[in-house]
Chain A
Amino acid sequence: MSATFLGTPAFPTAARTALADTQLRRNLAHATGTIRAKRAAVVGEVDEWERLRRAGAALKDRTLRHLDTYLAQLEESLTRAGATVHWARDAAEANRIVVDIARGHGTDEVVKVKSMATQEIGLNEALEAAGIHAWETDLAELIVQLGEDLPSHILVPAIHRNRSEVREIFLREMGRYGRPAPPDLTDTPAELAAAARAHLREKFLRAKVAVSGANFAVAETGTLAVVESEGNGRMCLTLPEVLVSVVGIEKLVPTWADLDVFLQLLPRSSTGERMNPYTSMWSGVTPADGPQEVHVVLLDNGRTDVLADEVGRQALRCIRCSACLNVCPVYERTGGHSYGSVYPGPIGAILTPMLRGVGHDTQLDSLPYASSLCGACFEVCPVRIDIPEVLVHLRTKVVDAHRGEPKVQNLAMKAASWAFADARRTAAAERISGAVGKVLRGTKRRAPGGRGVLGALPGPAAAWSDARDVPVPAAESFRAWWARTDGGRTERQDEDGGAQ
């Protein structure tokens, strides 16, 4: 897996398939509805939430505008604390570093804490290719991994699965990779969680090497933070001898005191809790406590391209809370797989095309259009990323990248520009459009609200009219009316001319 899932069709096509899946829509509506209510309740408890999120945005802007300084500072603090720092230009380089560390310890398995960065770079596949099993230990990631499935949500990657589907996957697959699920397993979430506990326990206890990401990296102190719920993170960060953390270069915060703001913003926005069950923080190596060999891989993989885009840069403030997914009317109906990326939903629709570049891939170019621009994502974002602004900006870039190509839309625009540049040509075009309108009136139907609209347009215009209401063209153009009535002076009062 890489930042985009290979073979996913462009968003409109993928969304159509997802929309037809009624089970998926039920699962998603239930899950996003639940978490929206939880988030709203705990955010409502904080008196100065708006000031807090402005502080979060400003701190991230401060970091990003001086990122070179802070990266150098982080490297120095980590090294001082006993960690080894690696730099990776791209996914392949990061994967190579992790594979080499695991190989160096002669292990054929690693345990993993849920991490978006390692999913983005396809680390599990790279490890498997090197003969090293990567065990996902987060419950939802385990469900996805055992089901040979793709994640569909940043926080709850198996949000598209319901309890009975999870039960089936556990019964069928667990035994192939270790301790099987008990044969009398029911579909109550408590029993399913207990099966995961038993299955993963042996892996935690024997693993030599663990791989994690980090929610935050403090430049001043070299402290990394992992925010989690189940304790699988603590297991991975504490029990193995070797810990490798893959950290995107945008995860930095300047000082220890700055972490305070984010530890308030993240849990309330993400799981809708005042605080998540477990947060682990560590600065390099602690003698006689936890891993005695600590590596940190600082990952670029397209982030500097996002940084170079003055409008899009704000997307690097993202702390991966997934609040924007949960409020998005598009995500709620289409699910995460339609976005074809490890980063789905509104943030994915801007982040994925920026990380990978626009103008060279139909699927990536379709993502900035996967939105109604309603703005709900901006409203809930704890670091105030103006996602609609970036979406519109990216749409411009997509159009610019394809300017001059012989597409139907470009030809239509060119023709329109030629016609409207000259009054006589415009008049001729109006006559043609009136004539065509008369023909197409046969397809006329009533849109909700009673407005008359045309049915499907013929030929290449069908794709355009497919999801849009095409107004019925006027029987007579304004110019024709003006000429016939001498600017309205000879129009009879009883004539119904104005209603056209």
Chain B
Amino acid sequence: MSAREEVLGRVRTALRDVPGAEKPADVAVDRPQPRPTTAADVDLFAERVADYKATVVRCTPEDLPTHLAAALDGVPRLLVPADLPEALRPADAILDEQLTTAELDTVDGVLTTAALGIAETGTIVLDHGPGQGRRAATLVPDRHVCVVRADQVVADVTAAVARLDPARPLTWISGPSATSDIELDRVEGVHGPRTLIVLLVG
């Protein structure tokens, strides 16, 4: 018998007490009501992202270039996804046209957009669609500058899951990389980008 048949057979034997007519939906699940997103969620998002020791800069679309330049100060080699909107792209940025891992390791920072932001948890979510780059691009460089529009902020995890497409790879980012493995003392900055700057526009 194959391992597959044997494991499934053991599962069925183990579940002999479950009535044959029972459907999964017969096991009732009562979930908390989702909370609608309000204007205050943009403030909450900014506050909670900052709680993780990320830098949050709120600005208008007009101010964005100034703040962007400040966020990219001290990044001699900047990587951007090849499909990052022209308006955001600094002139001397390196386009990520499938750089090798070793090449990725030589850039100092990366600039992307995001799929959405979650207010309650201070999370930015990348679905690695246009402007967000492939997964390695926002991981290997030591500084990640991420542009999030205020209208991309949703109230909570429930709202985020409802909006996202699981067929895409997803990266949920809540602050810079961190560890609490030594005496549960939190340290920001381990393997992922040690600096996270979120530019919240609008």
Binding site for B on A (CB under 8 A): 27, 30-31, 34-35, 47-48, 51-52, 54-55, 58-59, 61-62, 65-72, 75, 81, 86-89, 93, 137-140, 143, 156, 158-159, 161-163, 166, 189-190, 192-194, 196-197, 200-201, 204-205, 218, 221, 223, 229-232, 234-235, 237-239, 249, 254, 256-257, 259-261, 263-264, 267, 271, 273-283, 286, 288-290, 298, 300, 304-305, 307-308, 310
Chain A nearest CB from B112 CB (Å) reads 14
- Contact between A35 and B176 (Cβ–Cβ < 8 Å)? no
Q: A239-B136, A263-B161 given. 19 additional CB < 8 A pairs?
A: A34-B183, A66-B18, A87-B6, A139-B179, A140-B181, A159-B184, A163-B182, A189-B187, A193-B189, A230-B177, A261-B31, A264-B157, A275-B172, A277-B173, A281-B170, A281-B172, A282-B169, A304-B10, A307-B14
Number of A-B pairs whose CB atoms are under 8 Å? 250
- Contact between A304 and B166 (Cβ–Cβ < 8 Å)? no
- Contact between A278 and B192 (Cβ–Cβ < 8 Å)? yes
Interchain CB contact (< 8 A) of A238 among B6, B7, B136, B181: B136
Residues of A within 8 Å of B101, CB to CB, are: 205, 239
B interface residues, tally (CB under 8 Å)? 72
A-contacting 9-mer, from B56-64, B69-77, B87-95, B115-123: B115-123
Given contacts A62-B29, A65-B18, A261-B31, contact A249 B174 (CB under 8 A): no
CA distance A66 to B101 in the complex (A): 43
Cβ of B162 under 8 Å from chain A: yes
List 6 tightest A-B contacts by C-beta distance, closest first: A231-B192, A308-B14, A231-B191, A304-B10, A275-B121, A62-B27
Which B residue's beta carbon lies closest to that of A156? B181
Interface SS of chain A: helix, strand, loop or mixed?
A: helix
- Contact between B135 and A193 (Cβ–Cβ < 8 Å)? no
- Contact between A234 and B184 (Cβ–Cβ < 8 Å)? no
- Contact between B181 and A58 (Cβ–Cβ < 8 Å)? no
Given contacts A277-B173, A278-B173, A304-B11, contact A229 B157 (CB under 8 A): no
- Contact between A304 and B169 (Cβ–Cβ < 8 Å)? no
CA distance A68 to B10 in the complex (A): 9
- Contact between B11 and A58 (Cβ–Cβ < 8 Å)? no
Cβ of B32 under 8 Å from chain A: yes
Given contacts A156-B184, A277-B52, contact A204 B191 (CB under 8 A): yes
Residues of B within 8 Å of A68, CB to CB, are: 8, 11-12, 15
- Contact between A88 and B3 (Cβ–Cβ < 8 Å)? yes
- Contact between B15 and A307 (Cβ–Cβ < 8 Å)? yes
Cβ of B175 under 8 Å from chain A: yes
Chain B nearest CB from A356 CB (Å) reads 16
Cβ of B28 under 8 Å from chain A: yes
Chain B nearest CB from A282 CB (Å) reads 5
Residues of B within 8 Å of A305, CB to CB, are: 14
- Contact between B168 and A277 (Cβ–Cβ < 8 Å)? no
A-B pairs with beta carbons under 8 Å apart, 27 shown: A30-B184, A55-B29, A55-B32, A67-B11, A71-B11, A81-B167, A89-B6, A140-B181, A161-B182, A189-B185, A193-B179, A234-B171, A239-B140, A259-B161, A271-B180, A273-B174, A274-B120, A274-B174, A275-B122, A278-B172, A280-B170, A281-B169, A281-B172, A286-B169, A290-B135, A307-B15, A308-B14
CA distance A305 to B171 in the complex (A): 35
Chain B nearest CB from A74 CB (Å) reads 12
Given contacts A55-B31, A281-B169, A290-B136, contact A232 B191 (CB under 8 A): yes
Interchain CB contact (< 8 A) of A279 among B14, B29, B172, B187: B172
Which B residue's beta carbon lies closest to that of A282? B169
Residues of B within 8 Å of A288, CB to CB, are: 98, 134
Cβ of B105 under 8 Å from chain A: yes
Residues of B within 8 Å of A190, CB to CB, are: 187, 189
Most buried by B among A161, A231, A289, A307: A231
Cβ of B2 under 8 Å from chain A: yes
Cβ of B30 under 8 Å from chain A: yes
Which A residue's beta carbon lies closest to that of B31? A55
